[in-house]
Amino acid sequence: MKPASFDYVVPRTVAEAVQALAGPGRTAQVLAGGQSLILEMHLQRIRPRLVVDINRIPELDGMRVDGDGLRVGALVRHAAFERADAVPGPLGTLLSRAVVNIAHPPIRSRGTMAGSFGWAHPASEWCAIGVALDATVEVTGPDGERALPARDYFLGPHRTARRPQELITAVRLPLLGGHTGVGFVEHRRTHFCFAQVAVAAALTVHDGVISDVRIGLVNSADRPVRARAAEQTLLGTEIGPLPTGRRLPDGHPFARAGRVAAQEDAAPVAEPYADAEYKRQAVAVLVGRTLREAATDLGSRLAVRQGDPR
Ligand SMILES: Cc1cc2nc3c(=O)[nH]c(=O)nc-3n(C[C@H](O)[C@H](O)[C@H](O)COP(=O)(O)OP(=O)(O)OC[C@H]3O[C@@H](n4cnc5c(N)ncnc54)[C@H](O)[C@@H]3O)c2cc1C
């Protein structure tokens, strides 16, 4: 199928883009990487009257460390995160482990992190990481700038708190401190499919005790989920040595957190190849595995810091 006819503008500044989006009687769409939008337009599931191509707005490009956070401009492509050292510390590791699960290289070379927040697909890796880490979505509209906390931003599949006339200018993620280890584990049918379920975790440990933990669930509800009930079971827990077998013992705190995430945090929506019960079980297993990966990551970081060549 071909897209329905539409007008096309290429603004050079954020102000021009916002002016175009706010034009009277328009149903406008922003064209960033186009990796979701163009497909939807071809299928005529989206029929915008106007497409606002933001690819020629230099102020939207680039990312920078800004205080205790990383500000990712709206034109930064997924591929920018493939190298762990593109972003300092454990956040760089987390983003690099997650990004290889997003589609395949050509899509990652065009699609943008901000576009994923704009599209708000429940299976988006970035959106679950954003919710888990308390990211902020920066938008500019006719009434000025707003910073929307990711926890209030997602309202359902492809539904967000962003107003149609507002442009996402950046996504802001907190940098993670030195006592934090990270993990990301995904389950999907084939290499190119969206996740059936995936989990992101950031585990902070001081003096052997878990002092902070963030768990994000991908495609485990109609929107990205922070697994707060599971997190609560872990706070204040002594981490102890990790079990050696592939399977976590049922009584291990990470296994328990997985069961709590599956029962209390996830609200899975059935899909053709994964019913809700299957997804719930996947959440239970993957949360445990991801926490173990995060604890292992933290162990390596601390060993390197102490001069252990491991
Ligand atoms: C085969 C295939 C597999 C994929 N697999 C995955 C996957 O596993 N995980 C995953 O997360 N994604 C996946 N994607 C989607 C891909 O990551 C997209 O790049 C992403 O969803 C949207 O980013 P984009 O920059 O391409 O946005 P676009 O396609 O340009 O836009 C998407 C939507 O977001 C809005 N938008 C974009 N930028 C802004 C902005 N700055 N301000 C306001 N609104 C904006 C647009 O109006 C539009 O509604 C896949 C896509 C394909 C085709």
Per residue, the 3-state secondary structure of the chain, as one string, reads CCCCCCEEECCCCHHHHHHHHCCCCCCEEEECCCCCHHHHHHCCCCCCCEEEECCCCHHHCCEEEECCEEEEECCCEHHHHCCHHHCCHHHHHHHHHHHCCCCCHHHHHHCEHHHHHHHCCCCCHHHHHHHHHCCEEEEEECCEEEEEEHHHHEEECCEECCCCCCEEEEEEEECCCCCEEEEEEEECCCCCCCCCEEEEEEEEEECCEEEEEEEEEECCCCCCEECHHHHHHHCCCECCCCCCCCCCCCCCHHHHHHHHHHHHHCCCCCECCECHHHHHHHHHHHHHHHHHHHHHHHHHHHHHHCCCCC
Question: Does residue 50's CB lie within 6 angstroms of at least one atom of ligand 1?
Answer: no
Q: Which of 54, 196, 174 is nearest to 125 (CA)?
A: 196
Q: Where are the domains of the chain?
A: 7-53, 61-174, 180-305
pLDDT of residue 307: 66
| Architecture of domain 7-53 in this structure | 2-Layer Sandwich (3.30)
Task: Output the CA 232–ligand 1 centroid distance in Å.
Answer: 32
Q: Which of 242, 250, 240 is nearest to 284 (CA)?
A: 250
**Per-residue b/e over 5-42, b at no fewer than 16 CB within 10 Å?**
eeeebebeebebbbebbbeeebebbbbbbbbbbeebbe
Question: Does residue 14's CB lie within 6 angstroms of at least one atom of ligand 1?
Answer: no
Minimum CA distance residue for ligand 1 atom 19: 111
Give the chain's mean pLDDT: 95
Task: Output the CA 200–ligand 1 centroid distance in Å.
Answer: 20
Determine the Cα–Cα distance for residues 229 and 227; give it in Å rounded to an integer. Answer: 6
Number of other CB atoms surrounding residue 150 within 10 Å = 27
User: With bands split at pLDDT 50, 70 and 90, how would you rate the model's confidence at 308?
Assistant: low
Instruction: Show the tokens assigned to 31.
Output: 């064209």
Minimum CA distance residue for ligand 1 atom 10: 124
pLDDT tops 80 at residue 203? yes
pLDDT tops 70 at residue 191? yes
pLDDT tops 80 at residue 309? no
Task: Output the CA 36–ligand 1 centroid distance in Å.
Answer: 4
pLDDT tops 60 at residue 283? yes
> What CATH class is the domain 180-305?
alpha beta
Alpha carbon 55 to its chain centroid, in Å, reads: 22
Instruction: Show the tokens assigned to 199.
Output: 């989990």
Task: Output the CA 83–ligand 1 centroid distance in Å.
Answer: 21
What percent of the chain stands above pLDDT 90? 86
pLDDT of residue 310: 47
Task: Output the CA 53–ligand 1 centroid distance in Å.
Answer: 14
- Return the CATH fold of 61-174: 3.30.465
Interval 75-106: pLDDT, tens: 999 999 999 999 999 999 999 999 999 999 99
Interval 259-278: pLDDT, tens: 999 999 999 999 989 999 99
Question: Does residue 32's CB lie within 6 angstroms of at least one atom of ligand 1?
Answer: yes
pLDDT tops 70 at residue 28? yes
Determine the Cα–Cα distance for residues 196 and 183; give it in Å rounded to an integer. Answer: 17
Task: Output the CA 253–ligand 1 centroid distance in Å.
Answer: 36
Interval 135-156: pLDDT, tens: 999 999 999 999 999 999 999 9
Mutate to test the pocket of ligand 1, among 9, 37, 146 (most ligand atoms within 8 A of CB): 37
